Amino acid sequence: MNAILQVRDLQRHFPIRGAFNRQLGWIRALDGVSFDLIQGEILGLVGESGCGKSTLGKTIMGIHRPDAGAIHFEGINIAGLEPRAHRSVRRHLQYAYQDPGASLDPRWKIGRSLHEPLIIHTNLSTAEREVRVREILRAVGLPEGHLDLYPHEISGGQQRRVGLARILTLQPRVVILDEPTSGLDVSVQATVLTLFRELRAAFNLTYMLISHDLAVVRMMCQRVAVMYLGKIVEIGPTADIFERPRHPYTQSLLAAIPQIGGKRITRDFWLKGEPPDPGKLPSGCRFRTRCPRAEALCAETEPELRLIGAQHAACHFAELDSLRSA
């Protein structure tokens, strides 16, 4: 399989500051993240708030500069590129923000907002830009009359479509979708998700989908990566992750999904307490303070991602559990 994006040991740390701007420590928002994004796939990224999902997307985009590691996009290491050098890459690697309305200038009509990225990143003439903008607007299902409207004059679902149109004008190859259905009615969510699939097929796109909604991830994604406190603790095919989760944290996330009838995969698993202070991570496995399976080994050694069945999981006892269930 051809990987369009390869992330290796990516790190991004933020300083913790106290009185008089004195540095007290570091928050390791990304602490050695590695994965491949396969061309044409939809990779889901899930985990609790604060686990590093959005930081990962923004670091890949260059919004945050990585402290260490490599990001290979189509064979080129883009980690830490200077803004001028990164600009030529960013047109093919785009980020769809959680709140599309915030990324649209309220003083500009929709038409001007759609022209702006083409003015910055291309040498198209005004007439050529106009043709592309109108083609893309039709592709996302909006009438051309919206070009003369302001962002506050359209609905949240329509703002999502405008945000996508703004991205697609640059003909990207990878799009990072950050909580693309948050704040939308269920019926609007279904329409937006259908649109994502249609655009993926029409424009040969590859998606990385960041979401809290596990139902959306299960429906949309071919593979899922589970993050906890700056690390990927499990990654694999969606069906295997949902049917046979290997890591205790993944099991706890799936156990929290509301069920109407039927039975849960892990009925008796309870996630204890809150995540530890990200500035004072526990030794060894960072999930051990909330895991009922934790033993002395978990405090001594941090587990690495290992292939177990069809997925990779970072747990000392996941392989043993796999053998027991076989």
CA angle in degrees (0–180, nearest 5) for 121-127-129: 30
Sheet strand arrangement including 76-77: 23-38, 3-17, 68-73, 76-77
For tokens 């071919």, name the residue.
Answer: 222
**The pLDDT value given to residue 82:** 76
Encode 139-169: b = buried (16+ Cβ within 10 Å), e = exposed.
bbbbeeebbebebeebeebbbbbbbbbbbbb
The DSSP line for 261-315 is SS--TTTT----SPPPPTTSPPSS-TTGGG-TT--HHHHH-PPPPEEETTEEE--
**Cβ(122)–Cβ(152) under 8 Å?**
no
**Cβ(134)–Cβ(114) under 8 Å?**
no
Q: Which fold has domain 3-92+172-231?
A: Rossmann fold (3.40.50)
pTM value?
0.90
With CA atoms as reference, report the closest residue to 252 among 290, 301, 309. Answer: 290
- Determine how β-strand 68-73 pairs with β-strand 3-17: antiparallel
**The pLDDT value given to residue 188:** 83
Give domain limits for the chain: 3-92+172-231
Encode 251-263: b = buried (16+ Cβ within 10 Å), e = exposed.
bbbbbeeeeeeee
The tokens describing 187, both together, are 């019926």
Mind listing the pLDDT tens digit for each residue in 63-115?
899 999 999 999 889 987 777 777 778 789 999 887 777 778 899 999 999 99
**The pLDDT value given to residue 326:** 45
Residues of the chain with pLDDT under 50: 265-266, 323-324, 326
**Cβ(209)–Cβ(128) under 8 Å?**
no
Mind listing the pLDDT tens digit for each residue in 280-298?
999 999 999 999 888 999 9
